[in-house]
Chain A
Amino acid sequence: MLVGAFACAHTPQLLARPGTEDRDLVLRVHAAFARVKRRLEALRADAIAIVAGDHVEAFFLDAVPALAVYVGRECAGTFGRYRYRFPIHEPLARAVVEQGVERGFDLFYTQHAPLDYAFYVPLHFTMPEPAVPIVPLHVNVYLPPQPTPRRCYEWGRALGEILRSRPERVVLMASGGMSHFPGTDRYASPEFEYDRRLLESLKAGHGRELAAITGEELDKMGNIELRTWATLLGAVGDARADLYCYEPSWHHGNAVVEWPV
């Protein structure tokens, strides 16, 4: 069953805390992550299904999956000096890929691929105690052409149905966002007003509006990663977002959000 749904920023500076960052802002985002962690413990989650966009770490131009599921025994990765490893909830991962294909989504799967920091950062801060296994779900956000937000939303709707039909207590988490432009001239000028308008719409329960946004608009607004949110929104439907925090730093709109399921 699906017991919770959250979106979490994965801004690497939240983890590495370099001197370029506003300490108080980072600590406010950490406090929001701590709330998520307590919620996961209260929800007695058996597994976290986490949707994130690989930053050209597992999937280079040799093979570019639009939607992928990790179905190995465990997964591991590195980010700078950070080393991490998580057990995968194998029966759940296998159910997601098998039933997803059954429902018409031609999913890519892997039993061995590096796990990107987009998965790690939220898990570092929000993993409940005791820890639970995960199911990493990749959505291509960095290598055009990416799946459309509408396709992500439709995949999320199917994913939500699959998770709801399972015996495990599953939390769905979307990693990424909001506005940021890594590697471009816009790095120091994200579209915070766009983020705020979108959050108002999500708080009003209009998640399906994200499905109608074009890929061009997401790119222009520094929000290519919101394809992970679109996936989650497909699963939670018109639920009203509960905004834990929105903290715009000099390079990144950091949001932490919960949706009732």
Chain B
Amino acid sequence: MNDQPHYRFPPASAYRLNRCLFALKSDDAFRARFVKDAPAAMAELELDAEDAAAVLRGDRDALLARGAHPYLVFMADLRLRMEREPVSFEFF
């Protein structure tokens, strides 16, 4: 299990970052607070400045380099986009 190119062991150094992405994906109340005031929401979760900057930029490569789980990056981004610009589903 030491050579998995797509989904790697999430390093403990990225725990808070992953917790923030998890909350953006799955916690509607947190996501609403984030949309209203992102720095304050990230402060709740004690993100450090570099993590917070990468989340604010939505910089996927930087997030992955910092140990973020790719699935959480993907879904946090999707959920934020859906929150900001509601899309029409059940298109057909």
Q: Contact residues of A with B, CB < 8 Å?
A: 16-19, 21, 23, 26, 55-57, 60-61, 78, 80-81, 114, 142-146, 148, 181-184, 186-187, 215-216, 219-220, 222, 224
Contact = CB atoms under 8 A, between A and B. Distances in A.
Contact of A17 (B5, B79, B90): B90
Interface residues of B, number: 32
Interface stretch (B35-43, B48-56, B64-72): B64-72
Interface of B: 1-10, 15, 18-19, 22, 25-26, 28, 69-75, 79, 82, 87-92
Contacts of A60: 18-19, 22
A144 B3 CA distance: 11
Contacts of A148: 1
B9 A144 contact: yes
Contacts of B7: 142-144, 219, 224
Contacts of B2: 216
A215 B89 contact: no
Given A57-B26, A182-B70, A184-B70, A18 B89 contact: yes
Contacts of A224: 6-7
Contacts of B1: 144-146, 148, 215-216
B6 A56 contact: no
Contacts of A219: 4-7
A219 B1 CA distance: 10
Given A17-B89, A17-B91, A61-B15, A56 B4 contact: no
Given A56-B69, A60-B19, A142-B69, A183 B91 contact: no
Given A17-B91, A56-B25, 18 more contacts: A16-B89, A17-B89, A56-B22, A61-B18, A61-B19, A80-B79, A146-B1, A148-B1, A183-B70, A183-B71, A183-B72, A183-B74, A184-B70, A216-B1, A216-B3, A216-B4, A219-B4, A219-B5
